[in-house]
Every structure is written in C-alpha cells, then in structure tokens.
Amino acid sequence: MVAENIQPDMESSELPQDVSVLMTQADWAWPMALRDIFQPRGVNLMVVDGVNQFINVLRHRRIQATIVDTDTVGSSRQGGPFGIAQGGLWALKIVRIEYPQIPCIVLTSEPTETMLEEALELEAFSVIPKPFDMGILKEQLNRLFVRKYSSHIFSM
C-alpha cells in the first residue's frame, strides 16, 4: 500500500544540473541499496544522522527532495527532537517549516491512521510502508520528479 498526497504541484521548479536528495539515517542498510537507483542517474544522495545535520544540509545545499524514515533513532519512541513525538515525522516538520516547497517521501513500518493523517497535513508526497519494494520507491521518485520538476530522471 502506498498512500500518496495527490495534490498537484502548480508551481513546478526547474531541475538543476546537480540533483540532490536528502535522507534521514535508516535503521538498516537501505541507503547502500539505493545506490542502484541514484548512482546511474548522477543523483547526489546525502544521508544524515540527526536533526543538526539535517538542518545544516537544508540550509547550505540545494535539495530537490527528501526521504524520511520514521523509524530512525531519535524519532517518536524517544520523544524526538524538539519534543515532537508523532510518528517520527520530525524531519518532515522541519522541511515544512523552513522549506515548504521541497517534496518528501516518507517510509514507515507503522503506517497508522494518525501518522498517515499527519503526513497528509504536512503534505508528504507519499508514504510507503516498510518493508518496501525498491520498485515502488523508484516509481514514487519518478512520479515526484515528473510532477515537481517535469523531469524523467528516475524513469530510465
């Protein structure tokens, strides 16, 4: 099941030559597995561990999309940074506050109704339950980049 925010992006941005996707650190080695999707396309995949690194990258680099794993260390089970305790969506909340135009894909092992509602309110592009199929993630990345940037970079 993939929950997707269907709201169309009316203000498509131009895709720069240097494409970067920011990810939160995951609870397993999936960032390594994603190299098969990102490297052949020349997409810069940045993985950060912690809220300070996440904010620093957002402030100093041009990011075209984010991927947030809600099961990362420091998420809802420990109260999360800034006291945010809803489903590990702290990174998405930061993106929406400071950079509302950056699209986000959310990965979660617990797609509860409450978490899905909050992700929808925060305008997540899609929510993908874990364990997930890399084909589904690639399909969602393709849809995201086509809608936001009119780019088929992930359809190759």
Per-residue pLDDT tens for 8-27?
343 445 666 789 999 887 66
Helix (H) or strand (E) holding 65: strand 65-69
Check whether 2 has a pLDDT greater than 50: no
Query: pLDDT band at 110, cuts 50/70/90?
Result: confident
Domains in the chain, start-ordered, CATH in brackets?
3-149 (3.40.50.2300)
What is the four-CA torsion angle of 70, 104, 23, 84, rounded to 10 degrees? Answer: -40
How far apart CA 98 and CA 3 sit, in angstroms, is 24
SS3 assignment, position 21: strand
Pairing of strands 104-108, 44-48: unpaired
20-24 sheet: strands from edge to edge: 3-4, 126-129, 104-108, 65-69, 20-24, 44-48
In order of 8, 17, 66, 91, the CA distances from 58 in angstroms are 23, 18, 10, 11
